[in-house]
Amino acid sequence: MKDHKITLEISETLFEQLSLLAEIKEESIEYLAIEIIAAKLPCLIQRESQLKQLLEAIKPDSIHSEIGL
């Protein structure tokens, strides 16, 4: 698998929190950022996919019947 490099701009507060966690865990900030993204991403993909399916299921007729038009 090919690796890719990205550059992120994050707030000072978020950077400080990440730095603190890196210090506690004795890991690099970069490693922790990747670890956090990798842990959260599957859940976000699933949630967004489900939301997209729900939104695609809404038809104009169903909206009108829901609001009594």
Q: What is the pLDDT of residue 58?
A: 83
Q: Mind listing the pLDDT tens digit for each residue in 8-29?
A: 999 999 999 999 999 999 999 9
**Pick from 13, 8, 12: nearest CA to 33:** 8
The domain segmentation of the chain, as residue ranges, is 12-67
Q: What is the pLDDT of residue 25?
A: 96
**End-to-end Cα distance, the chain:** 54
Q: Mind listing the pLDDT tens digit for each residue in 16-69?
A: 999 999 999 999 999 999 999 999 999 999 999 999 998 888 887 766 666 655
